[in-house]
Amino acid sequence: MSKIREEGVIDPFSVLIDLENGTMPEPSNRITRKASDMRGYYADGKALEELITSGNDPLHYEVLERPVPQARGHLMYCISRLMPGRVGEELFMTKGHYHSVKETAEIYLCLGGEGYMAMKTAGGAWAVERMERGRMVYVPPTWAHRSINTGREILSSFCVYPGEAGHNYGDIEKEGFPKRIFMKGGRIVME
């Protein structure tokens, strides 16, 4: 018998999350960002071009998901996996974004690796939170967010955010973040 569903209503489901390895073994979507997708984001554009050409354009990060409707009431969720590495002295990071619907928050539960979540508001507020296995970062509404991998392992997180949130990358492309995170002389520095 066919099921009658209201718009946006779907059947329940479950999905396996590999907590030990910080991954989703059977995603239906895999979004990838390679070094060549990161042009304009790093301080050292020349080092990025070298990584693209001599370094064979390595994977920067991937997002694994089994999407649900991008609608109010639903919860989007995914596994975000950021590779370890550097562009010049700057540590690998995600592009970073505001949510298009500003009133939407996000939870990042770190499953492995180490790094930071950098956050900023359009009004000039700035914050950074440590990411490490078992630590949850709460990104409040209106805060843009970007993760940075400061370790040698993949920085992996389970993310949850409202279905209607959407992603606004354009403003961060223009504004950037007030601080960058580098590895200089074996030390992590923020400047």
Q: What are phi and psi of 13, to 5 degrees?
A: -155, 170
Q: Whole-angstrom Cα distance, residue 110 to residue 91?
A: 18
Residue spans of alpha helices (H) in 32-188: 45-53, 170-175
Residue closer to ligand S6P, measured from CB, 156 or 185: 156
Contact in structure between 92 and 38 (CB atoms under 8 Å): no
Task: Look at the block and give the residue holding tokens 């990025």.
Answer: 48
- By rule CB under 6 A, what string of x and - marks binding of each residue 82-121 to ligand S6P? ------------xxxx--------x---------------
Q: Assess 129 for contact with Zn ion (CB under 5 A).
A: no
Q: Whole-angstrom Cα distance, residue 109 to residue 167?
A: 19
Q: Assess 80 for contact with ligand S6P (CB under 6 A).
A: yes
Q: Assess 156 for contact with ligand S6P (CB under 6 A).
A: no
With contacts defined by CB under 5 A, how many residues of the chain interact with Zn ion?
1
Binding ligand S6P (rule: CB under 6 A), the pick from 63, 117, 118, 131 is: 63
Residues of this chain that bind ligand S6P (CB under 6 A)? 61, 63, 78, 80, 94-97, 106, 145, 147, 159, 161, 167
